[in-house]
Amino acid sequence: MSRYINVPDPPAEETPESQQQLDAIGRRMLRRRVDALKSLPTFPESIVRINQVLSSEDGDESFERIAAVLDMDPVMTARILRLVNSAFYGASGAVATVYDALVMAGLDVVKGIILSTHAMDLLSSRQGMRGLWEHCFGTAVAAGSLARVLGVGRQTEISAAALMHDIGKVVLATQLPGDYAEVVEHARAASCCVLEAEVALLGVGHDEIGKWLVSRWKLPAALAEPIALHHTPEKATRFPEATAIVHVADLMVRAYGFGFPGDHVMPEPSSHAWRLLHLTPAKIEEAVESMHRQLQGALAQANLYDERVR
Ligand SMILES: [Fe+2]
Ligand SMILES: [Fe+2]
């Protein structure tokens, strides 16, 4: 936490020991609430199977074939359309086909949606979460761009993990809406990042909640590790590159100003991630340019749809 600014001191009237006990009780209570959630589904194997079918296809020219596979699954199609629409329209339904969704959001992001669709339903269907959904969508685009520039494989999983990286915030915001509004307000008033405000007010951060969720859902480690450790990429052991990419992508989208992650603070990038990925200002610039093109393309497409449906 020390890399974030304005780390609050513990209250003077509490001893560190009693504060730790209170924190531990708060965590146990919160964990019980997370474990008891009825609305969080298990990770469905059917989605993994569909993704395996799609992994043999790649590139823009295969959009029609991919769309044909997905069109056979009406539930999946509905989910993809709802998620892509919600990125730019709320729930207006302007993107009407899987093919349009592929053109608009790109293959990596749609594959990411397929892998993360159940989890992200929570996010896109909730009122007042659009800024967070845009932040997650933007991070998926940024992570895909960065992975391509760096020549790192497993881009699908990286985009999917990026799409879900802040799923812990979704749980906090939906399960403890009043408390989470206070967290966001605290982050605003103290000019600190929302992770720091979560720990200060709730005793637990969204990264830790994410870790509980990915273990509960038994997500593959390629997704689980980057989600759980996107704020502490130096702890990654199995997928350190993917974790570092999601970490940097999160910051790229913050710097770019797309969506709202819950605060307006720009945390410092992890020097470990920077070294591990052999990042240079030129590579970051190339990835940002690619992210910019993809997001602008998606937004331009959204405007065309807006005009069409008006
Ligand atoms: Fe985060
Ligand atoms: Fe984030």
Q: What is the pLDDT along the chain (310 residues), one digit of tens a residue?
A: 333 334 344 444 455 677 677 667 766 777 676 665 544 444 455 555 565 656 665 555 577 777 877 777 776 777 777 767 765 445 455 777 888 888 877 776 676 667 666 555 555 555 567 788 788 888 988 998 999 999 998 777 788 788 889 988 888 887 778 888 999 999 999 999 999 999 988 888 999 988 887 777 667 788 889 999 999 999 999 999 999 999 999 999 999 998 889 999 998 999 999 999 999 999 999 999 999 988 887 666 555 444 443 4
Indicate the domain borders of the chain.
16-42+128-309
Distance 141 CA to ligand 1 centre (A): 16
Distance 166 CA to ligand 2 centre (A): 5
- Give phi and psi for 21, each to the nearest 5: -65, -45
Helix (H, G, I), strand (E, B) or coil at 195: helix
pTM of the model: 0.71
Distance 205 CA to ligand 2 centre (A): 12
The count of other CB atoms within 10 Å of the CB of residue 103 is 18
Among 3.20.20.70, 1.10.3210.10, 2.60.130.10, 2.40.50.100, name the CATH number for the domain at 16-42+128-309.
1.10.3210.10
Distance 251 CA to ligand 2 centre (A): 8
Q: Which residues surround ligand 2, an ion (CB under 5 A)?
A: 166, 250, 261
Distance 193 CA to ligand 2 centre (A): 10
Ligand that lies nearest to the alpha carbon of residue 233, given by its number in the listed order: 1
- Confirm if 275 and 248 have CB atoms less than 8 A apart: no
DSSP 138-189: HHHHHHHHHHHHHT-S-HHHHHHHHHHTTHHHHHHHHHSHHHHHHHHHHHHH
Distance 292 CA to ligand 2 centre (A): 17
Rounded to whole angstroms, how far apart are CA atoms 275 and 299? 33
Distance 135 CA to ligand 2 centre (A): 7
Distance 49 CA to ligand 1 centre (A): 28
Instruction: Copy the structure tokens of residue 308.
Output: 């069409």
- Confirm if 209 and 228 have CB atoms less than 8 A apart: no
Ligand that lies nearest to the alpha carbon of residue 227, given by its number in the listed order: 1
Ligand that lies nearest to the alpha carbon of residue 143, given by its number in the listed order: 2
Distance 138 CA to ligand 2 centre (A): 9
